[in-house]
Structure 1
Amino acid sequence: MDLVGMMPAFVVAVVLISASPGPAMALILRRAAVRGFAGAVPTVLGLEAGLYLWALFAAAGLAAKVAASEVAFLVLRVVGAGFLLYLGIKAWRSAWRARGSGVLPDSGAGSPVDSASGWVKAFGEGALVMLANPKAAAFVIAFYPQFVPAGWPLFTTTAVLAVLQVAIEVVLYLTLAAVVGRASGWFRRSTVRRRLDAISGTVLVALGLRMATESR
């Protein structure tokens, strides 16, 4: 089967994978709820930049070396788990600081994401969550070769497929962010925001602990 004939199956697989819960989804939902659609854009782009780099690493054979190396896999797992735990604890602290007061820390109004440094920080958080996830390396190694027709150049075909996946996920995630962002004013209410921080912090900590403890 040629590449065009494989496209329907590829698109369906990407949509199903994108909709599955995980660190990326948790990060996007919290960002959109707290900072609105505009605040979620750099996070989505950072996540997709990280995914695209992993796809290129896979095509070049680097991802396979990372996945095969006990040391590299462990380092990525520790870094990824540590960063998710950091984000989760940060959300918990935000909920705790607002407890018993009407003050919303890091409320998102006049958000620092409006500045270049805030945009870069949000982009970097998304990229780091993806790049420090060893499961992302295992995913791209297993996923893309299934859709590279025999005789086609591996690197070029993988790069093209990755562009398509990134485009699909950007549309899906930004649509989700737009839907959630429409209610961001409600999410920023004092009581709702504290509960949101507590719940999202718990989810991120749980994901970090799972990443830290799960095997290959």
Structure 2
Amino acid sequence: MDLLSSLPAFVLAVVLISASPGPAMALILRRAALHGFSGAVPTVLGLEAGLYAWALLAATGLTALVAASEVAYLILRVVGGGFLLYLGFRAWRTAWRGARAGETVAEEPGPGSSPSWWKAFGEGAVVMLANPKIAAFMIAFYPQFVPADRPLFATTSLLAAVQVAIEIVLYLALAAVVGRAGAWFRRPAIRRRLEAVSGTVLVALGLRMAVESR
């Protein structure tokens, strides 16, 4: 199998995978709705940094060890699920405080501030790195597109860079579309409902990750 001939199938698979709902999509949608396009950029970059790190670990074989270890897999499930629960409960708390304050929801620091930027980046990275399903995905996905005569680490790194580039474009395009309606989403009553809904989604995803078996 030639790498270039398999690239179209790889790109198509990445696009389909990127469009599937999950923690990453929920995080991006919430961030773009509440903080606009610029507020979603660090979240997207954090998610993709975590994805690329998993890809490099897969190329070295460490991902296979994590996926094969019951203890490591359980730890990632608990940490990843717990972090999603934390984000969900935080969204619920914001919605509840907004209701108590008469529909006025406290704003987080603006997306341009350094602490807010790194906080959003860190949330994205943790959500991706603490997802054990990504480890299992990397083991099954990348070897299909790595020719037997090509170096595993270099080829996986290249394919992962292509995936990261595609997902950054797709996710930022999604964030731009959602961000255009940001003024409407940030109206106090709408923001409170959005926080409640997104909190429910994140809690549900966290519970599923925490209790779901392989």
TM-score, normalisation: structure 1: 0.97
Secondary structure of 1:113's match? coil
CA separation in 2, counterparts of 1:131 and 1:102?
A: 35
CA separation in 2, counterparts of 1:201 and 1:104?
A: 14
Q: Which amino acid aligns with 2:145?
A: F
CA separation in 2, counterparts of 1:102 and 1:4?
A: 55
Count of matched residue pairs: 213
How far has the Cα of 1:102 moved from its partner? 3.5
Answer yes or no: is the 8 Å Cα contact 2:103–2:192 preserved in 1.
no
CA separation in 2, counterparts of 1:177 and 1:205?
A: 22
Q: Which amino acid aligns with 2:202?
A: L
Corresponding residue number in structure 2 for 1:66:
66
How far has the Cα of 1:154 moved from its partner? 0.4
CA separation in 1, counterparts of 2:184 and 2:133?
A: 34
Residue 103 (1) aligns with residue 104 (2) = yes
Q: Which amino acid aligns with 2:92?
A: W
> What does 1:130-141 align with in structure 2 at a 5 Å threshold?
130-141=128-139
Corresponding residue number in structure 2 for 1:117:
115
Secondary structure of 2:87's match? helix
How far has the Cα of 1:116 moved from its partner? 1.4
Deviations 1:59-93 (A, max 9, x none): 00000000011111111110000000000000001
How far has the Cα of 1:209 moved from its partner? 0.4
CA separation in 2, counterparts of 1:199 and 1:71?
A: 33
Contiguous gaps of at least 5 residues in structure 1: none
Contiguous gaps of at least 5 residues in structure 2: none
Secondary structure of 1:158's match? helix
How far has the Cα of 1:112 moved from its partner? 3.3
Identity of aligned residues (%): 73
Residue 199 (1) aligns with residue 197 (2) = yes
CA separation in 2, counterparts of 1:102 and 1:137?
A: 41
